A and B are shown apart, each in its own frame.
Chain A
Amino acid sequence: MKGREEIIAKIKDSLGKKALSVFEAKPNRLYVSIGPENITGAVKLLFEELLGRYVILTGIDTPAGIEVLYHFSFDGADLVVTLKVLLDKENPEAESITPIIKGAEWIEREIHELLGVEFSGHPNMKRLILAEDWPAGVYPLRRSFNGKAE
């Protein structure tokens, strides 16, 4: 098992210029911003190469666009690494990571229906938590959602 510094150094080194910003909030919390085009590469690095444990994805509606966070835990090294991607608000789209990590299937479906993010290459984009008769195109976790279907 690699040490914490070694993992952080490897992430910085491998991502190089693809890492738009790197922020160490605490010694064991690392946040790395990347462009949407690099997401599968970065996830492969964390999950397959560095053997991080997939934890979950978080979707956030921000004024700048829809942000998707990919959380990975390196349990032996006491480190949680979060990849951040900012997607275009009008047309949020990212490549699916479910083909790499089966466990991500549900959360991508969830973010798709709550925030309207398109995950290209997702194998099973069925509705996960909203009711079957929920209107299409209404995303309840967006700031603009007022509790009513328009």
Chain B
Amino acid sequence: MKKTVIPIGPYHPLQEEAGFFQLHVEGERVLDIDVEVGYNHRGIEKIAESRTYDQVPFLVERICGICSTSHPFAYVQAVEEIAGAEVPERALYIRTIIAELERLHSHLLWVGLAGHFLGYNTVFMWAWRYREPVLDIMEEVTGNRQNYAMMKVGGVRRDILDEDFVKIRKMVEDLGPVLDMFTGAVLDDPVIHARTKGVGVLTPEDARMYGAVGPTARASGVPIDVRRDDPYAAYDRVQWNVVTWQSGDVFGKAAVRLLEMRESVKIILQCLDQMKPGSIDANVKEIPPGEGIGHVEAPRGETFHYVRSDGSNRPIRHKVRAPSYTNVPTFKATCIGQTISDVTIILAAVDPCYSCTERMAVIEGASRKSSLSGYDLVSLSQERGREILSTLAGRVAQKELERKLAEGYRRIGERAC
């Protein structure tokens, strides 16, 4: 059979790094995958060397628009390690709340887009509807829907006001039961089972070999979570569970993210209960020579920052490792042997970024003539979903899902009144 190379990319500008994927296929089957990155290389590590310690959080916040608090969070912890700073308790709680709100909106965004790529727009619409109140609260509390500018060395920049407490609590309490219902509806859905179970399996051995982190690793039964393993902020003062799944497939990755959101709700509510009035900034002035490591559990996995200081007002080296840097290479293990129509959702399951899948094109052999556009590839995946949906069982499943989701919506509405 004729071998074909399918290039995907190169641009998906929402991600930390834009990527170019080349799928080597024979018929429908993927034989190999090449990943090229570097299209969005902005030299942030180099720029950080010319910024003061207080300027760097604003810089690294812009590495990623979706998990924009995770990078400054890891960075300030690395610098606090060098300075030996004691961060006030209230600031630790505020950091935790912001980080968990971010996880909620990031995971909801993922669930919605995953639904879209499967041709299941019901899921897409509902997930994004539930995400909106989270962003509204972010705007209320920090002033921004993204790039919150909350983290600073020694504490946080803004306090959470008493009146915002009420708003956060109400939003999170309303969201909790809806998430339960949504999670149940999605995880019980036969159409989603058909499209994601056994698809793109990452074994625990491969997860370790590639250094996979976050939901990508936890879905393969690797129980790692920085929040528990190297507790920072207020994570050791609240009760919550690390969610793992054993299957390693796309379904497992979805399940981990969905169930994890419930844990985030638990964490936020406990933080609100436990927080006491107090200072939010340790006023760190001098950074002595030394080196420090800060790592936090971002929505996509461990974000790792290494900072070295020579005692001046700027870091002499600042290394950033975003979770996708180790998660994206796992495609080599998960895509091979799968069909083209499943590749969209396998790539999406790692949650690298979605615009990549919009940029796919099928190109025939050496002529490099484009035969399928990115849009066609997403359509292929959606068509497959629709095929299942068009069967009687599929129609029943969709009706059932819509009924459950509408019920959850009514419940939100009632509580809001």
A contact set with B: CB distance below 8 Å: 25-26, 28-29, 31, 53-56, 58, 60, 69, 71, 73, 75-76, 78, 80, 82, 101-103, 105-107, 127-131, 140-141
Q: A56-B325, A101-B209, A103-B326 are in contact. Are A69 and B38 (CB under 8 A)?
A: no
Task: Tell me if A102 and B210 are in contact (CB < 8 A).
Answer: yes
Task: Tell me if B43 and A140 are in contact (CB < 8 A).
Answer: yes
Residue of A at shortest CB range from B82?
A25
Chain A residues with CB under 8 Å of B319's CB are 56, 58, 69
Q: Cβ of B331 < 8 Å from any Cβ of A?
A: no
Q: Cβ of B126 < 8 Å from any Cβ of A?
A: no
Task: Tell me if B302 and A55 are in contact (CB < 8 A).
Answer: yes
Residue of B at shortest CB range from A147?
B46
Q: Cβ of B308 < 8 Å from any Cβ of A?
A: yes
Q: How far is the CB of A1 from chain B (nearest CB, A)?
A: 10
Q: How many residues of B contact A (CB 8 A)?
A: 36
Q: Cβ of B45 < 8 Å from any Cβ of A?
A: yes
Chain B residues with CB under 8 Å of A29's CB are 81, 292-293
Q: How far is the CB of A62 from chain B (nearest CB, A)?
A: 8
Main secondary structure on B side of the interface with A: mixed
Task: Tell me if A71 and B293 are in contact (CB < 8 A).
Answer: yes
Chain A residues with CB under 8 Å of B45's CB are 141
With A75-B224, A106-B325, A131-B38 known, 17 other A-B pairs at CB within 8 A are A25-B81, A25-B292, A28-B230, A31-B291, A53-B211, A54-B211, A56-B325, A58-B317, A71-B293, A73-B229, A80-B230, A80-B293, A82-B293, A103-B211, A127-B38, A129-B38, A129-B41
Docked pose: A75 CA to B293 CA in angstroms = 14
Within 8 A of A (CB), among B201-253: 208-212, 224, 226, 229-231
Docked pose: A76 CA to B222 CA in angstroms = 11
B contact set with A: CB distance below 8 Å: 17, 36-38, 41, 43, 45-46, 81, 208-212, 224, 226, 229-231, 290-293, 295, 302, 304, 306, 308, 316-317, 319, 321, 325-326, 329, 332
Task: Tell me if B38 and A25 are in contact (CB < 8 A).
Answer: no
Chain B residues with CB under 8 Å of A60's CB are 308, 316-317
Q: How far is the CB of B390 from chain A (nearest CB, A)?
A: 41
Chain A residues with CB under 8 Å of B304's CB are 55-56, 71
Chain A residues with CB under 8 Å of B46's CB are 140-141
The contact sample of 28 A-B pairs, CB cut-off 8 A, is A25-B81, A26-B81, A53-B208, A53-B211, A54-B211, A55-B211, A55-B302, A55-B304, A55-B321, A56-B211, A56-B304, A60-B317, A71-B304, A73-B230, A78-B231, A80-B295, A82-B293, A101-B209, A103-B326, A106-B37, A106-B325, A128-B36, A129-B38, A130-B38, A130-B41, A131-B38, A140-B43, A141-B45
